[in-house]
Amino acid sequence: MNHNHQPDLSLDLRGEHCPYNAIATLEALADMTAGQVLEVITDCAQSVNGIPEDARAKGYDCLAVEQHGPLFRFLIRVPG
Amino acid sequence: MSLAEFRAQYLVRFWSPIPALLALGVASAYYFAITGTFWAVTGEFTRWGGHIAALLGFSPQQWSYFQLIGLNGSPLERIDGVMIIGMFAGALCAALWAGNVQLRWPTSRRRLAQGLIGGIIAGFGARLAMGCNLAAFFTGIPMFSLHAWAFMLTTVIGAWIGVKLCLLPFLRTPLRLDTAPSSLFADTASLARRARLQNRLGLLIAVLVLGFAAWRFETSLVLGLAVLFGVFFGAVIERGQICFTSAARDLWTTGRTRIAYGILLGMVVACLGTFGAIALGATPKIFWMGPNAALGGLLFGIGIVLAGGCETGWMYRAMEGQVHFWIVGIGNVIGGTLVAIFWDELGGTLALPYPKINLLEYLGAGTGLLLSLAGLMLAMLLVYLNARRFAVREGLAR
């Protein structure tokens, strides 16, 4: 399940529900530079539908969506 | 395929929401044809409020709202009641088999208060309009009751207001950013142990709910079937993470489309099924096309976005151990019960004087069906056009 991409930043969203986790992810990505990778951790399963769809719609690359029991991990890269 | 592969593929990995919603649309039409009522939850939650009021020494049997929706027997003797027990069991079982059950605590008291207030507003709005995202929407439009269209429209408007409220600075929490990767996933042995334990607990819940269904089958075939339908509904909404709130809210936040398309397509297939059942003699549930439907939808839209989930949404999330959504559920029961308490004033002015419009009778059966389907197609087109507002232009990422 582990991915080779080493994240530059890690965003911990445990305990947050929708829409905050998707919005916080996009806000964190907006402050990053081209080529950087963001790791996002949530414990709300719905984010598996939301975060990748929103990130892709905004032009980011969603590299990985992982399920680890009750935790969900996303790796998203700023293109460039 | 080994058992571990099967588990990873079907029990852990979430299902795609569009096929899940199509299946829910088909099953909800069967449910109506078999039980004579639609898939609905808030009416029963309001009855639970009525039972609590009775325990506190009130006489809810005499309240006009309960004369309208009935308060006979216990939840174990009502179709809605046993279906909801099945839904909770189905969602819990699905969450356990996915290893996705854990007590998750909210980030702040402010969020909890937000959940309670949102839950109350959503419960109040839903009961004012005689249904929530199900009875006044997903299973209301396939009853061909005009009020469900008003509810759907105003829910989307209410969701816009809800989004504005949710993004107020005092409801935002600071981002927890770190430059080191998370260390939460290091302990794979304990994750595997948890998964094994949850597998066994899931099996236990499955056996218990089948026993419960068998016991209800002894009373009547309809009650037993209602349990099984509930298990199916609950398991599928958990597996597909079917969030009606997201469909309405994320039209305004990020322009998401997938769940909205799924819900609308689910209603298309449900309409075909319920149309057949009605043609064979089933009686559709039609409610007043009054200000109550529009106002109820508006409040419901605001409430679900504030709370982070609607009635079906909080049910499966509560089973996953998300404490926030236990509070939302309590809020829903309070909100619904408030409508029951003040129904004489509310219903007398906002609902009862207005006609119940059955589109199949008002327009003729064929035209009513075709216009309903055309309306759902139009809604899909609007969802598509709305999403284009958010699209980034090619080559201009972000």
Interatomic CA distance for residues B68 and B276, integer angstroms: 27
Chain A residues with CB under 8 Å of B246 CB are 18-19, 46, 49-50
The reported pLDDT for the residue numbered A4 is: 64
More confident residue, A18 or B224: B224
Q: Do A9 and B178 touch (CB under 8 A)?
A: yes
Residue B65 lies in a domain: yes
Q: Which of A3, A4, A18 to probe by mutation at the B interface, max B CB count within 10 Å?
A: A18
Instruction: Please report the number of interchain residue pairs, chain A to chain B, with beta-carbon separation below 8 angstroms.
Output: 154
CATH number for the A9-77 domain, one of 3.90.1150.10, 3.90.1200.10, 3.40.50.80, 3.30.110.40? 3.30.110.40
Q: Does the beta carbon of A43 lie under 8 angstroms from any beta carbon of chain B?
A: yes
Q: How far is B398 from chain A (nearest CA, A)?
A: 5
Q: Do B175 and A8 touch (CB under 8 A)?
A: no
Residue B160 lies in a domain: yes
Interatomic CA distance for residues B199 and B92, integer angstroms: 11
User: Would you tell me which residues 337-376 of chain B have a C-beta closer than 8 angstroms to some C-beta of chain A?
Assistant: none
CA distances B339 to A64, B42, B123, Å, are: 46, 12, 9
Q: Do B175 and A27 touch (CB under 8 A)?
A: yes
Residue B4 lies in a domain: no
Q: Tell me if B230 sits within 8 A of B12, measured CB to CB.
A: no
Residue B177 lies in a domain: no
Write out the two tokens for B72. Answer: 């006979």
Q: Which of B12, B100, B193 to probe by mutation at the A interface, max A CB count within 10 Å?
A: B100
Nearest CA in chain A to B101: A70
Q: Does the beta carbon of A35 lie under 8 angstroms from any beta carbon of chain B?
A: no
Q: Does the beta carbon of B243 lie under 8 angstroms from any beta carbon of chain A?
A: yes
Instruction: Give, to the nearest 10 degrees, the angle between helix B311-319 and helix B109-128.
Output: 140
Q: What type of residue is B30?
A: Y
The reported pLDDT for the residue numbered B391 is: 78
Residue B290 lies in a domain: yes
Angle at B111 between CA B164 and CA B261, to 5 degrees: 55
Parent domain of B31: 14-171+192-389
Query: In a 10 Å sphere around its CB, with 0-12 CB exposed, 13-18 middle and 19+ buried, how is residue A33 labelled?
Result: exposed
Residue ranges of the domains in chain A? 9-77
Q: Is the peptide bond prior to A19 cis by the omega test (within 30 degrees of 0)?
A: yes
Residue B5 lies in a domain: no
Question: Rounded to 5 degrees, what are φ and ψ at A11?
Answer: -110, 120
* CA atoms lying within 13 Å on the CB side of residue B369: 14
Q: How many CB atoms lie within 10 A of CB B176?
A: 16
The reported pLDDT for the residue numbered B183 is: 84
Interatomic CA distance for residues B1 and B204, integer angstroms: 24
Q: What type of residue is B169?
A: P
Interatomic CA distance for residues B199 and B347, integer angstroms: 47
Question: Rounded to 5 degrees, what are φ and ψ at B231?
Answer: -60, -45
The reported pLDDT for the residue numbered B97 is: 96
Q: Does the beta carbon of A28 lie under 8 angstroms from any beta carbon of chain B?
A: yes
Q: Does the beta carbon of A36 lie under 8 angstroms from any beta carbon of chain B?
A: no
Which residues, including other chains, have CB under 8 Å from residue B349's CB and lie 6 or more apart?
none
Nearest CA in chain B to A31: B398
Q: What number of H helices and E strands is found in chain A?
A: 2, 4
Write out the two tokens for A18. Answer: 């929708």
Q: Which of A9, A31, A44 to probe by mutation at the B interface, max B CB count within 10 Å?
A: A44
- Structure-token match 């969603």, residue found: A62
The reported pLDDT for the residue numbered B238 is: 96
Query: In a 10 Å sphere around its CB, with 0-12 CB exposed, 13-18 middle and 19+ buried, how is residue B30 labelled?
Result: middle
Q: In total, how many domains does chain B have?
A: 1
Catalytic residues of A: 18
Among A17, A30, A73, the residue with its CB nearest the CB of B324 is A17
Query: In a 10 Å sphere around its CB, with 0-12 CB exposed, 13-18 middle and 19+ buried, how is residue A1 labelled?
Result: exposed
CA distances B102 to A20, A59, B22, B98, B239, Å, are: 20, 33, 29, 11, 16
Residue B161 lies in a domain: yes
Q: Does the beta carbon of B17 lie under 8 angstroms from any beta carbon of chain A?
A: yes
The ipTM, to two decimals, is 0.90
Question: Is the sign of the CA dihedral A17, A22, A28, A31 positive or negative?
Answer: negative
Our measurement of the distance from residue B386's CA atom to the centroid of its chain's CA atoms, rounded to an integer in Å, reads: 23
Query: In a 10 Å sphere around its CB, with 0-12 CB exposed, 13-18 middle and 19+ buried, how is residue B72 labelled?
Result: exposed
Q: Tell me if B128 sits within 8 A of B332, measured CB to CB.
A: no
Q: Does the beta carbon of A56 lie under 8 angstroms from any beta carbon of chain B?
A: no
CA distances A55 to A1, A78, B214, B391, Å, are: 21, 10, 46, 11
Question: Which regions in chain B score pLDDT beneath 70?
Answer: 393-398
Q: Tell me if B229 sits within 8 A of B80, measured CB to CB.
A: no
Among A11, A45, A59, the residue with its CB nearest the CB of B176 is A11
Residue B204 lies in a domain: yes
Sheet containing A9-12: which strands, arranged edge to edge? A61-68, A71-77, A37-42, A9-12, B177-178
User: Would you tell me which residues 97-136 of chain B have a C-beta closer than 8 angstroms to some C-beta of chain A?
Assistant: 98-102, 104-107, 111
The reported pLDDT for the residue numbered B393 is: 55
Question: Is the sign of the CA dihedral B18, B20, B23, B25 positive or negative?
Answer: negative
